[in-house]
């Protein structure tokens, strides 16, 4: 696992009600069978997401969201991982630096 910069993330939880969450976090690269970049949400934002998870999840705790990093926006799903939530990140977003 390799730690990279800490770009600012803005999430919009997709559901009946829009929940906006802003945070910065360390981006890490996971070299598993499907390599990808992720960022862990800080504890406070993870708790906010867990509070709405049961209302918006489409299975396995996955939370559909719209993400903005800088000027790049994309739709993805957050992945619950223990007490923290992991946000998949696009390669170009993972390379942004503050």
If one counts the domains in the chain, the total is 1
Domain limits at 25?
2-94
Q: What is the pLDDT of residues 51-92, one digit of tens each?
A: 888 888 888 888 888 888 878 888 888 888 877 888 877 665
Joined together, the tokens standing for residue 89 give: 């990140």
The pLDDT value recorded for residue 97 is 45
Contact in structure between 36 and 28 (CB atoms under 8 Å): no
- Whether 3 shows a pLDDT value over 70: the answer reads no
* Alpha-carbon distance values, 2 to 28, 30, 37, 43 (Å): 5, 8, 10, 21
């Amino acid at each position: 696992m390799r730690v990279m910069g800490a770009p600012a993330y803005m999430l919009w939880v997709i559901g009946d009600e829009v929940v906006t969450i802003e945070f910065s976090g360390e981006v890490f690269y996971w070299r598993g069978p499907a390599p990808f970049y992720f960022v862990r949400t800080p504890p406070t934002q993870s708790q906010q997401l867990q509070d709405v998870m049961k209302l918006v999840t489409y299975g396995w705790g996955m939370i559909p969201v719209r993400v903005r990093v800088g000027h790049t926006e994309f739709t993805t799903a957050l992945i619950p991982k223990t007490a923290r939530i992991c946000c998949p990140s696009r390669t170009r977003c993972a390379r942004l630096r503050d």
